[in-house]
Chains A and B, each alone.
Chain A
Amino acid sequence: MSGFRLPGRGRVNHDRPVGFSFDGDSYQGLEGDTVASALLANGVHLMGRSFKYHRPRGVVTAGPEEPNALLGTSRGEGRSEPNTRATMQEIYSGLTTTSQNRFPSLNFDLGAVNDHLGMLFSAGFYYKTFMWPKSFWDRVYEPVIRRAAGLGVSPSEPDPDTYASRFVHCDVLVVGAGPAGLAAALSAGRAGARTLLIDEGAESGGSLLSEPQAVIDGKPAWDWLSSALDELDGMVNVTVLSRTTAIGYYHQNMVGLVQRLTDHLAEPPADAPRERMLRVRADQVVLAQGAIEKPLVFDGNDRPGVMLAGAALTYLNRYGVRVGDRPVVLTSHDSAWYTAFDLSDAGVPVAGIVDTRTDVDLDLLENARSRGIVIYTGHTASSTAGRLRVTSLRVNPILNGKAGPGVTIECDAVLMCGGWTPSLHLFSHTKGSLRWDEETRTYLPGERTEEVHIAGAGRGLWGTGAALADGADAGAKAADAAGHSADVSQFDVTGDRGGTGASNVELPTDRNPATAKAFIDFQNDVTAKDIRLAVREGMHSIEHVKRYTTNGMATDQGKLSNINGLMIASDALGRNAPEVGLTTFRPPYSPTTFGAFCGYHRGERFEVIRTTPIDPWAEENGAVFEPVALWRRARYFPQPGEDMHTAVNRECAATRKSLGIFDASTLGKIEVAGPDAVEFMNRMYTNPWTKLGVGRCRYGLLLGEDGFIRDDGVIGRLSPDLFHVTTTTGGAPRVLAMMEDYLQTEWPDLKVWLTSTTEQWATIALNGPNARKLLEPLVEGQDLSDDAFPHMSVAECTVAGFPARLFRISFTGELGFEVNVPARHGLDLWKTLMAEGAQYDICPYGTETMHVLRAEKGYIIVGQDTDGTVTPQDAGLSWAIGKAKPDFVGKRSLARPDLVASGRKQLVGLMTVDPKTVLEEGAQIVADPNQPIPMKMIGHVTSSYWSEALGRSIAMAVVEDGFERKGDTLHIPMPDKTHAAVVSGTVFYDPEGDRLKL
């Protein structure tokens, strides 16, 4: 039996000891313990070091708001997690935990020297201390801050766990399974509403788990709890989820939940997901999240052993752990008195109850006296003592608002309570307004924006009876609103505990306030003094105070600190709290793993990978792939010993010399069909289409309405009312969406149908002087001679027995054909062509060779040589504009003043003076390399390759007034040297186009 465990007490299983470790030492807890309760049962309070000052810190809470007891947990490679809250992590046999933010050990930490440099680290220190000298940044400040900053260590290995996700729809979602939430679920469930009740704890019950004294409907609280859960369990329309946190409340009653499935298990089932994200769409939401206890702000309130009184009550009643041998209670609220009473009744000598109020309920006083507890009403606390654990509390009578002479109370725990803050984080996510309640000096829910009901302590009510009644009412209202007819469940409660309290800023002290360390945000080491300093230095908005001091920016997101910070800031400003405002709560409510957000979308399922019908052949034949849009495309086909450069040179040479074969299936394809198809094409594309004959193709250029190039591709006319449009690989969905937009909304009168056929067809490009020789014997139904089937022709025929749309087009400058066959025949056709092409040394090539061959001919790639600010004139494509057409998309813009002005960047060729130099794509271009820095950049390189055919490098670039600079030498400054290049045309190879005319 551990030293601080009370035999038989609590909800832990005293017959089931569980071994775990903390900082390498073995400890024993009980089944049902959290790490925090198990360590406390062993007398361990010191669980971490603070972020800035590395001050020793103990556990403060018993719940998700814990700021101090953040541990590293690990269950093997890739399964380590930093900043696990000891108050939430359940122990299991073999659990390994370590403290954080200390070096070399938790008891002796060198970083604690920061604690003595407090002046350096005061409010705004991020903004002030490290301003100068500049040279200190790299060598001093940055390394020091890097080492000191951050809590815990994140794992460096991939996460081996799986994470699930699912959608849920329900009538009523109840968040929080304390008395209010349970009552709401009972009302809604009994009315037949599809009800989901969730709680982030391991057990349902909320405050009932800590306060078993109440009697509900004649049963002790825990018996009533069992029967309520049994009843809910028996309703088919009700689901209860534990270990499930509502992390965010989004539009139209969508609430994100994260369910923790295996972190509490010693041996998780194989392949069980670690967590599950549930996206709940609820007709009605009941928020029954309760309230969070506020710390009191006084010098030394962060010493290990100082904790919230409500937490001590939870450790005592739920876990059967006394948090000390001689605790003292320090409070401004009734609730902490009951902690003292329960501890005393459990045999723990309470060193006193210190209450800042003079006017305390007579029953409480009588109850304390009858237990022999010393009472200090109208007292403040001025300091604590003790290094790694509190040893005493100094208290002083408050006389006229000032602290009188102090007395010291020996103790090993200080149990504080500064009142309670309704937990309204989720409500705030909905942009529901908050209303300041002057009487309780707290924010309560105001105007609602969603179908939400707030019940219990979350709207400032106190006590089990009130929470049950209010929850029952909220649940019934929610069920009614969701279309059911609910009765408000009734509960009879005795043994309830009332509670009122007073609100404070820093407690009065007789010590020098300048040396006081009265903490507000424990994790971020923000003190009351910091808040007042921030206000003095001009931070008058609470949002500024927050950022200047980092108050509320820790992992607990201000759950403990926000209201204390606000009270002190408004006191310093001399304004009422609501005028100072409250910082915005944003999701997630508590730290959430990336895994939960990713869910199934990781690894192969992170993004769709589209593959062509020919992809398996490429894979078998050693292709190196690259992603292009969502496609996986073969980049090159290296032979043994070849690098990319060698392989590409070989593929280029083989294609120009004899025959290359290329999988062009990823090209976007859209069928434009209907009696008005030609009119539609005339309006969409720059080119004229009326006179394009059936069986002929044309290069099509598509602009945005702003006149800039959006896409291009070859378009074939298959019949008077049917066009086969091709687009860039990445542009296909955009182009189709744009066409649909115009067709549906601007020209709904046109009789045109648009169909995406990208995946309908496998497209194989054959290029090279022997392309026709290969195809001719395989084609039926079309004469391939130059006369019968000239360049830019299209025909429907069969190729190798497969129905085909055959194009004579070229993206290489060689005699070229593109064979489209139904996708299911693509692989067979490819194999046939490879076999028949062997006699011509057919060479498969990938996208890299395609890029080189097209660049040698000056064919642009939209999105590489253009960037969304390039007009047809800029790209040298004025010839593609149907000047006689009255209108097309973008035509009017081509006459915009800035599009016809001089100084526009124009697409030109660049020939490096050193032919071996291949420029870097994206490199900036200057006219005069000797001008002072910063130089005037006049353009950049868009495409650059080694051309094996020309035995030199080639490049394209956009350059200011580039057309007028032909023959000029420009300069490309790079880190190693500045390269010189001469401006040229963009057609580097076969400028007459003779090779197309074979």
Chain B
Amino acid sequence: MLLIHCPYCDETLPEAEFVYAGEAHIARPEDPSTYDDEAWRDFLFIRTNARGRHFERWRHTHGCGRFFNAVRDTVSDRFLLTYRAGEPRPSDAELEELAK
């Protein structure tokens, strides 16, 4: 069982308190009607499926209830970072620094 740091509660807690909520940084468009069929398909269904660093969302369901973002390595299953929803996607350089 993984340990996950909730950036709102600022505590590292067992995975059982959390649920996975899909890939992160896929914002719903302001006006979906401006999207053509291909662009809308991509928004709905096309995901990164990364081998390695993956930006993803989790929710602290059995805790504060907040959705937040995380960077997890899908090979090692290690969390590199968790951060609040709405905060910018960390740069590769920042993540390299963290991985050290």
Residues in A lying within 8 Å of B, measured CB to CB: 250-252, 254, 279, 281, 431, 449, 705-706, 737, 740-742, 744-746, 748, 886-887, 891-893, 896-897
Contact = CB atoms under 8 A, between A and B. Distances in A.
Contact of B85 (A251, A252, A745): A745
Contact of A705 (B3, B21, B44, B67): B44
B86 A748 contact: yes
B2 interface: yes
A389 B85 CA distance: 71
B88 interface: no
A745 B66 CA distance: 9
Contacts of B40: 892-893, 896
A896 B39 CA distance: 11
A887 B27 contact: no
Given A705-B28, A745-B57, 17 more contacts: A250-B1, A279-B1, A449-B76, A740-B59, A740-B67, A741-B21, A744-B66, A744-B85, A745-B67, A745-B85, A745-B86, A748-B85, A886-B31, A886-B33, A892-B32, A892-B33, A896-B37
Contacts of A252: 1-3
Contacts of B27: 746
A251 B1 contact: yes
A975 B83 CA distance: 58
Contacts of B77: 251
Nearest to B75: A431
Contacts of A250: 1
B52 interface: no
A741 B67 contact: yes
Contact of A887 (B31, B57, B85): B31
Contacts of B65: 740
B35 A892 contact: yes
A740 B57 CA distance: 13
Contacts of A896: 37, 40-41
18 contacts: A250-B1, A252-B3, A706-B44, A737-B61, A740-B59, A740-B67, A741-B67, A745-B57, A745-B86, A746-B27, A746-B28, A887-B31, A887-B33, A892-B33, A893-B40, A896-B37, A896-B40, A896-B41
Contacts, number: 53
Interface string B72-95: 000011000000011000000000
Contacts of B21: 741
B19 to A, nearest CB: 8
A250 B35 CA distance: 44
Q: Which of A250, A279, A887, A892 is most buried by chain B, counting CB atoms within 10 A of its CB? A: A892
B78 to A, nearest CB: 8
Contacts of B61: 737
A705 B29 CA distance: 12
B85 A254 contact: no
Given A252-B2, A254-B1, A891 B32 contact: yes
B36 to A, nearest CB: 10
Contacts of B35: 892
Contacts of B44: 705-706, 893
A274 to B, nearest CB: 24
A744 B44 CA distance: 19
A705 B40 CA distance: 10
A706 B40 CA distance: 10
A977 B17 CA distance: 52
B59 A737 contact: yes
A252 B59 CA distance: 20
A901 to B, nearest CB: 12
Contacts of A886: 31, 33
A896 B45 CA distance: 13
- A-B pairs, top 7 by smallest CB distance, nearest first, are A892-B32, A746-B28, A744-B67, A745-B85, A252-B3, A251-B2, A745-B67
Contacts of B31: 886-887
Q: Which of B28, B33, B40 is most buried by chain A, counting CB atoms within 10 A of its CB? A: B28
Contacts of B2: 251-252
A737 B19 CA distance: 11
Nearest to B2: A251
Contacts of A897: 37
Contacts of B59: 737, 740-741
Contacts of B33: 886-887, 891-892
A744 B85 CA distance: 8
A387 B35 CA distance: 80
A891 to B, nearest CB: 7
B15 to A, nearest CB: 8
Nearest to A707: B44
A744 B61 CA distance: 13
Nearest to A733: B61
A886 B77 CA distance: 41
A744 B7 CA distance: 14
B80 to A, nearest CB: 14
Interface in B11-32: 21, 27-28, 31-32
A748 B67 CA distance: 11
A896 B38 CA distance: 10
A841 B86 CA distance: 59
A706 B27 CA distance: 15
Nearest to A742: B28
Contacts of B86: 745, 748
A279 B33 CA distance: 51
Nearest to B37: A897
A605 to B, nearest CB: 17
Contacts of B66: 744
Contacts of B85: 744-745, 748
A740 B65 CA distance: 9
A446 to B, nearest CB: 15
Nearest to A256: B1
A251 B75 CA distance: 12
Nearest to B79: A252
Nearest to A891: B32
A281 B59 CA distance: 22
Nearest to B29: A892
A250 B59 CA distance: 22
A705 B21 CA distance: 15
Given A252-B2, A746-B27, A887 B37 contact: no
A896 B35 CA distance: 11
B20 to A, nearest CB: 12
B63 to A, nearest CB: 13
A742 to B, nearest CB: 8
A284 to B, nearest CB: 15
Nearest to B33: A892
B98 to A, nearest CB: 17
A897 B33 CA distance: 14
A897 B35 CA distance: 13
A48 to B, nearest CB: 37
A896 B40 CA distance: 9
Nearest to A741: B67
Contacts of A279: 1
B9 to A, nearest CB: 15
Contacts of A748: 85-86
B32 to A, nearest CB: 4
A741 B85 CA distance: 10
A887 B32 contact: yes
B84 to A, nearest CB: 10
A368 to B, nearest CB: 51
A963 B41 CA distance: 27
A316 B3 CA distance: 47
A898 to B, nearest CB: 10
Q: Which of A252, A887, A891, A896 is most buried by chain B, counting CB atoms within 10 A of its CB? A: A252
Q: Which of A745, A746, A893 is most buried by chain B, counting CB atoms within 10 A of its CB? A: A745
Contacts of A705: 28, 44
Contacts of B57: 745
A985 B97 CA distance: 64
Nearest to B22: A741
A741 B3 CA distance: 22
A707 to B, nearest CB: 9
A744 B21 CA distance: 13
A537 to B, nearest CB: 33
